[in-house]
Structure 1
Amino acid sequence: MSEIERESMEYDVVIVGGGPAGLSAAIRLKQMDPDLDVVLLEKGSEIGAHILSGAVLDPCGLDALIPDWKAKGAPLNVPVKDDNFYLLGETGEIRVPNWPMPKLMNNHGNYIVSMGNVCRWMAEQAEELGVEIFPGMACSELIYGDNGEVRGVVAGVFGLEEDGSYGPNTEPGMELLGKYVFLSEGVRGSLAKEVIAKYDLSAGKEPQKFGLGMKEIWEIDPAKHKEGSVTHTMGWPLNSSKTGGGSFIYHLENNQVYVGFVVHLNYQNPHLYPYMEFQRFKHHPMVAELLEGGKRVAYGARAISEGGYQSMPKMVAPGVALLGCSVGMVNVPRIKGNHNAMLSGKAAAEAAFAAIKAGRASDELTDYETEVREGAIGKDLKLVRNLKPMWSKWGLAASLTLGGFDMWTNSLFGGSLFGTMSHGKCDAEATGKASDFKEINYPKPDGKLSFDRLTNVAFSFTNHEESQPAHLKLKDPSVPVNVNLPQYAGPSARYCPAGVYEFVEKDGAQQFVINFQNCVHCKTCDIKDPSQNINWTVPQGGDGPNYPNM
């Protein structure tokens, strides 16, 4: 779009994304040098609007970044008191004892938090230090320099015509240029995806793996509430030998409970309906007893990076660094990645600060990559690197026994009898043909414990301006009806947790409909579509979910 005239602004560091990684980088840069010009751009209507996480937070990232976070009023108010693991059957459960588990699985010393509220607090700390934060500014393009380096981003494009063209009422946005650009967009960010492809950053690495996490906030009967209680489950309703995943139930303040469910996106059966697996889960006797008499007050969903140590791409290219979930730093058995996101932001900031002070710009911040791979983040992920591939290859029982053994040997002796296992196929390629699998009949939601998808999406407070072009792009518009429907039974109608995609019959023919207004920005479609035909891009700034306390 070189013919478009835009104003431009120069900064030392441009940060895309107001999650824990981007905010940590911004804070650390200004801690080291208050005179650095740092800008942070967030596509959500406010910081925290698009943040969804479990979350039990390991405070080590905050300890490293803001050691006096307690005195400064960080919203870490609920320490973990009880740590429970259950293996579920359809009508009962077995408690898995804590004592055989490696120390890394212990949640004591961690906090049940709303990461949205933690990020809001972090944004306050950043602004006090002089960071410029612009919410509602979606970054839609990268700007490259004459030598192929990343120089900046285009942000704040509004009012595109329905076909995506620039019209008389289009605001063309601004160019924000920096000596370095940090991409901290979260899982499967559109700019990070472009950078990884352009510079071939995944060469020699395992494919990234993903899960779909869905979450509701419930207000429950005070008599059932146990502030500080943490419960994780595995097993039912998922077919444990073929489909991985599990749940979390966290009791926070004010008689509220986070109820979440994760489905690993390498599932084979295209008839699987992750959202309905979540709704079915809440009817398990153990869960139903907790929630009966309560009310759901919020809903949301997002993808989770699960590939871990062996799937992290190269994190730097000329002028740009990938942070947090743009790389994939989730410790899968711990169900934690926020601490590593914070540590990555801190490490990237320190590398950029040293480079700028040395007079450098737009080169590769190799010190950042070295710190991630060899420092606390790499050590955290290396210990658990085999659990996800074990689960994928051999099922739940093997991952519990052999995975536990492997984590113990890594923790005690720094090595594994299994070496570093591979993940194999990407999640899209793992999808099987519909004719090879049985359809799954899901019970109808009862409106009390379980809810239909569109009703729940209303509790994500999602909004998109309807006259803009759809931000979900089809590489080939014929593929959904001609390929995905006959071969895979149209899985997009099920894998999307917000009901964006549907097949409707019109004039005797099937048509593919994209209800982009429903999109909660989870990115599942970009990951799981078996034909890899859907490209998730940013809508105009401020649009999407408006999560309150996720």
Structure 2
Amino acid sequence: MSEVERESMEYDVVIVGAGPAGLSAAIRLKQLDADLNVVVLEKGSEVGAHILSGAVLDPCGLDALIPDWKEKGAPLNVPVTKDNFYVLGAGGQMRVPNWPMPPLMNNHGNYIVSMGNVCRWMAEQAEALGVEVFPGMACSELVYGDDGEVKGVVAGEFGKNPDGTPGPAYEPGMVLYGKYVFLSEGVRGSLSKEVMAKYDLSKGHCPQKFGLGMKEIWEIDPEKHREGTVTHTMGWPLGSNAGGGSFIYHLENNQVYVGFVVHLNYENPYLNPYMEFQRFKHHPMVAELLKGGKRVAYGARAISEGGWQSVPKVVFPGGALLGCSAGLVNVPRIKGNHNAMLSGKAAAEAAHEALKAGRAGDELTAYEAELRSGPIGKDLKKVRNVKPLWSKFGLSTSLALGGLDMWTNNLFGLSLLGTLKHGKSDAAATGEAAKFKPIDYPKPDGVLSFDRLTNVSFAMTNHEEQQPCHLQLKDPSVPISVNLPKYAEPAQRYCPAGVYEVVEEAGKDPRFVINFQNCVHCKTCDIKDPSQNINWVTPQGGDGPNYPNM
């Protein structure tokens, strides 16, 4: 811990992040023992402000945690009524029938939801049980004990100058000590990244793989609205440039979620995921749906895609990784919220047993065992080869082989392919610019498609400008001296919020500019930068996007 003097508070369990995993852990702990002291710290201005997910929710996690969620008013209001799957070409589409797909791909019994609103409801359930939930409290540091164990976090530090020194209104924050600390920060959390490196948690596992998910909420013509309809597409506009696809979910109130995912292992550094998303909306099928409607919200978030092979060791001395911090997304189902909830429940049960036995600060090995052998492990193991097949063989071959592999896993509990490995990291997959041609993207029309800065205003993101930049360059010279000549500095394109610019002025050397105020906390830069030179750390609490119902 730094030399700053801070007040402290002690808890049985400290939980970082009020997403589905962290809130599930908090709820389960209090269900097991009402006398436990449990705190949840959330960096967003309110619970749900930083939650962005598709989302079609498999309620199995909620069923296990709060069986009477319907009676308690959980905001699961739109059951899936229809499942569509299309492969797109530039001017048309081909429907893929549902019958050849394995049962796990069926959305019957699932719900179209706003996970932000689900988390707001879960926070209410947690608080009713006596959990302390503090939004606007970013956790900026881990606190370690004498034996190297995690024993707490620093939260609520405000008022630093841009150079990192204390400003006139500096507040040092507090140390919150826990017998166990749960990290449920979502994908590529800054504290999770630190513990993974410190304790070498990824040793013996494949590198994590990622996608970038971008999403808009549209209000559409009521005549075209089909509540409960779920549509997924693959193919155009990405083609062979990158893996990925889209989702269109019809929720209530004539609204649709329109989303687009680009796998971040793409090679061409000229690819612009955001512009691929904007181009997608001009496909005749999508344009016809959105015509006469209006976009009301925008956001973006990285998605963990490595699955079973990439789940690191999830326990460390004094704590555990939960949910997307551990990478528990089922890629072909495009679902991770159910596993996030189940992981929170399992971690809570392991911590409860440990605390009952008088333990603290050690490894919760029971959680690790349950995650790998229980419902989460079974869910991820069945689909473990879909992502590596896609990365290796592309769309059409992987559809056939991946489908066959999921069927054999479903019917016989085994794969003819064994367990395929992922290749290099997404950063290392980036190719040199000299081997590719720039991509000429159509200019956004302001009706169906929008420039990045206009769309970012619909994320309602805000950062206090006098604080230190939370996008740290390990070496400030690298963007211009290495990334620009070698990779045409892809940060200009992969960031879905227009944070990074290369400014070239006549007679002057190019400059790398970071507009950190635009950041929507997606973490893509931390993942995709080919030099791994950008380190995303948390800004002060309450800053960032303010998503209403993503």
What residue number does 1:127 align with? 127
Query: 1:3 Cα deviation (Å)?
Result: 1.5
Matched AA of 1:439: P
Equivalent residues in 2 for 1:1-400 (5 A)? Answer: 1-239=1-239, 241-400=240-399
Which residue matches 2:548? 548
Query: What is the SS of the residue equivalent to 2:64?
Result: helix
The 5-angstrom pairing of residues 452-491 of structure 1 reads 452-491=451-490
Unaligned runs of 5+ in 2: none
- Counterpart CA distance in 2 for 1:210 and 1:184 is 17
Distance 1:164 1:393 in 2: 44
> Within 2, Cα distance between the matches of 1:161 and 1:2?
17
- Aligned: 1:446 with 2:445: yes
Asked if 1:508 is matched to 2:508, the reply is yes
1:249 and 1:257 in contact (8 A); partners too: yes
Return the offset for 1:425: 0.3
For the residue of structure 2 that corresponds to 1:169, the secondary structure is: strand
Q: 2:518 is aligned with what amino acid?
A: N
2:407 and 2:97 map into 1 onto residues whose CA distance is 16
CA RMSD of aligned residues (A): 0.6
TM-fit CA distance, 1:161: 1.1
**AA at the equivalent of 2:317:** P
**Letter matched to residue 526 of structure 1:** D
Amino acid at match of 1:376: P
Question: 2: CA distance between counterparts of 1:438 and 1:395?
Answer: 20
Whether contact under 8 Å (1:428, 1:530) holds in the other structure is yes
The question of whether the paired residues in 2 share the 8 Å contact of 1:242 and 1:395 is answered with no
The DSSP-based 3-state class of the residue aligned with 2:510 is: strand
Post-superposition offset of 1:243? 1.1
Report the count of equivalent residues: 549
Q: CA deviation at 1:531?
A: 0.2
Which SS does the other structure have where 1:509 is aligned?
coil
Q: Secondary structure at the match of 1:364?
A: coil
Report the alpha carbon displacement of residue 427 of structure 1 after superposing the two structures with TM: 0.1
Is 1:415 aligned to residue 414 of structure 2? yes
In structure 2, distance between residues paired with 1:226 and 1:465: 41
SS of residue matched to 1:18:
coil
Aligned-residue offset at 1:242: 4.2
Aligned residue for 2:402, secondary structure, equals helix
Write the distance in 2 (CA, Å) between the matches of 1:436 and 1:413. Answer: 44
Shift of 1:170: 1.3
Shift of 1:167: 3.6
After superposing the two structures, state which structure 1 stretch, 1-10 or 149-158, moved more: 1-10
Question: Is the contact made by 1:247 and 1:262 (CA closer than 8 Å) also made in structure 2?
Answer: yes
Return the letter of the residue paired with 2:24.
S
Q: Could you give the per-residue CA deviations for residues 364-392 of structure 1, whole angstroms, max 9, x where no partner exists?
A: 00000100000000000000000000000
TM-superposed deviation, 1:165: 1.8
- Distance in 1, Cα, partners of 2:345 & 2:409: 26
In the superposition, the TM-score normalised over structure 2's length comes to: 0.99
User: What is the SS of the residue equivalent to 2:237?
Assistant: coil
Task: List structure 1 runs of 4+ shifted beyond 6 angstroms.
Answer: none
In structure 2, how many angstroms separate the alpha carbons of the residues matched to 1:439 and 1:411? 43
- Shifted more, 198-207 versus 158-167: the winner is 158-167
Q: CA deviation at 1:166?
A: 2.3
In structure 2, C-alpha distance between the alignment counterparts of 1:231 and 1:113, rounded to whole Å: 15
Q: Which letter does structure 1 place at the counterpart of 2:117?
A: N
Q: Cα deviation per residue 1:164-216 (whole Å; 9 max; x = unaligned)?
A: 12244311100000000000000000000000000000001000000000000
Q: Distance in 1 between matches of 2:186 and 2:368?
A: 18
Q: Which residue of 1 aligns with 2:523?
A: 523
SS class of match (1:428):
coil
Shift of 1:430: 0.2
Residues in 2 aligned to 1:152 and 1:212: alpha-carbon distance in whole angstroms:
31
Alignment partners' CA distance in 2, 1:67 and 1:368: 22
CA distance in 2 between counterparts of 1:112 and 1:399 reads: 27
Structure 2 CA distance for aligned equivalents of residues 161 and 146 of structure 1: 31
Q: CA offsets per residue over residues 16-37 of structure 1, 9 Å max, x none?
A: 0000000000000000100000
CA distance in structure 1 between the aligned counterparts of 2:401 and 2:319, rounded to whole angstroms: 39
Percentage identity across paired residues of the two chains: 81
Aligned partners of 1:167 and 1:184: how far apart in 2? 30
- The aligned residue for residue 539 of structure 2 is 539
SS of equivalent to 1:234: strand
Deviations 1:96-152 (A, max 9, x none): 000000000000100000000000000000000000000000000000000000000
Alpha-carbon shift at residue 498 of structure 1 (Å): 0.2
Residue 2 (structure 1) shift: 3.1
Instruction: State the one-letter code of the partner of 2:102.
Output: P
Q: State whether residues 233 and 246 of structure 1, in contact with CA within 8 Å, keep that contact through their aligned partners in structure 2.
A: yes
After superposition, the C-alpha distances for 1:36-92 in whole angstroms (9 at most, x for unaligned) are 000000000000000000000000000000000000000000000000000000000
Structure 2 SS opposite 1:372: helix
Unaligned ranges ≥5, structure 1: none
One-letter identity of the residue aligned with 1:11? Y
Letter in 1 for 2:293: G
